[in-house]
Structure 1
Amino acid sequence: MSFSGFPGGRLAQTPLPNLLFSELIPQIDDLGELKTTLHILWLLSRKRGEPRFVTLQELQGDSTLARSLSGLAATPAEAIEASLKKAVGRGTLLHLLSESGLDHIYLLNSPQGRRTAEKAELGELQLASSTLHIEPAVPSERPNIFVLYEQNIGLLQPMIAQELEEAERTYSPEWIEDAFRIAIENNVRNWKYIRRILERWAAEGRDDGTTTQSRSRGGDKSRDRTWYTEEEARKFIQR
C-alpha cells in the first residue's frame, strides 16, 4: 500500500518541538520506539485539559498504533510494551502506576509532565483514566472512502461526509476505489463525478460485465472506461 500524497486545503496540524528532530530522533535506533514516540506526541496534542497523559490500556486499544507496529513483534501488544520500555529508558516518557496499581500511565518528560509526576507521587494528584476529564484522543478507524477522499480530493466537509457514508453503504469497496482511480486518471478531482460513475455502474453495469456491487479484487480493470466526456467532466467540476 502506498501513500498518494497530502491533499490540498487546510489540514489539521500537530505541533512538535524542534528538539525532537535535532536531539531525540537522532538517538532513536528502534523503529517501534520511534513510531510509538511520535504516536504518543500526536495523541497528547489532541488531548484537552490538564494533566495530559496516555495509559497502556489506551495504547493497546489504538488500532492505528497497532497497524503501525504490525510485524515488529509477535503481537501488537508486545511491540507497544517493548517500545514504551525503551522510550521510558531513554527519558522521553515518564512511567507511573495509578494508586490502584492497575493503570500504567505515561507522561511526556517535560516540565509539566515532571510536575504532574511529582504531585502524583506525593499523593497530591490522582491519575486515573476513569477520573480525569480528558477528551479521548484515539479516533475510530475511518472507512476507507474517507481516506480516499482526503488523499485525492481535499478537506472533508460535513455535508460531503454524509454522502460518502451513504455511498459506502451502497457500493462495494472495490467499486469505490475504482471510481476514485478513474477520476484521478482523468484529472477530475470531484466527488459528484465519482458519484455519477458509481450510479451509472449500478444502473447499467460495468464494461467487464459486472452488474452487482460485489466485484472481487484482482479483476481486470483495463476495460474500465471514463464514462464521461471532457465536456461532461467540466460541468461536474463547475457545480
Structure 2
Amino acid sequence: MSIRHSTDSLICYLIESVTDAKALKVSLTLLSIIENENPIPVEENEILNNEMLNKGLLLNKHSIRTGLNTAVQDQAILKLYKSGDETKTSFYIANIEHWIQSAKSSGYLLQNIGNNNPPNQPEKSQHISEPINIYRLYETHIGTITPSISEELKEAETLYDPAWITEAFNIAVTGEKNNWRYISTILTRWNLEGKKDGKFRRHTQAPDNNKYINEYRRLRTRDS
C-alpha cells in the first residue's frame, strides 16, 4: 500500500487519481475535521452525520458510505478498528504516514496494513498472483458455485481474457468486495469502454477535483 507523507502529498494524489466525486468529497471532509498535529480517527457515524456532507455537498448517508468504501479502495483513507472493541465500530483516517503512526500508537488496528485485520477476523489473501481457473477463483474468494453462477462463470471464461478475469478478482478482493456481481461489472465496463490502466472507474468523466480542493482549503483557512 502506498502511504502519503504529508497532507499536501495526499491532496496531490486526490487531484490526480481519484475519479469518484463522492470519494473525493468524503476524503476532503475527513481532512478538514481532523487536526494535523493531533490526528484522531473519526467514527463512521460522525462522518455519516457530517453537516457539510449532508447539507453543503448534498450527500445522503448511502452516498457517504459509498464514498467511504471507494476512498478506502483507492487508498485515500483507511478504515480502522479500535483494539479490544467487541462491537468493531469503524473509524477512518486519511492515508498520511504520521497520522497512521499516531492511530496505531493509540491502539487502532488498520485494515490492510500488515496483519492488522479486524479483531477475530481471519486473514484474507489480498492478491492473486497469476491467472488461474475461474471456478477456483470463485470458490476461493467468494464461495459455493450455484448452477446460475456456474453459467455466468462459463460465459465470462469465454468472453474475457484470463488475465482480465484474474485482475478483476484482484480488485474485488483488495477492496473487500468479494461478490461476483461486482467482478462482472468490472469486466463488462472494461469490455465496453476499453481497459486502460486496469483500474475500475465508476465514472468515465472525472469530477472537477480542483473545485473540491479549493473548497477544502477555504474551510481549513476559515477554521484556523
TM-score under structure 2 normalisation?
0.39
- Of structures 1 and 2, the one scoring higher in RCO (CA 8 A, sep 6+) is 2
TM-score under structure 1 normalisation?
0.37
Larger of the two Rg values belongs to structure? 1
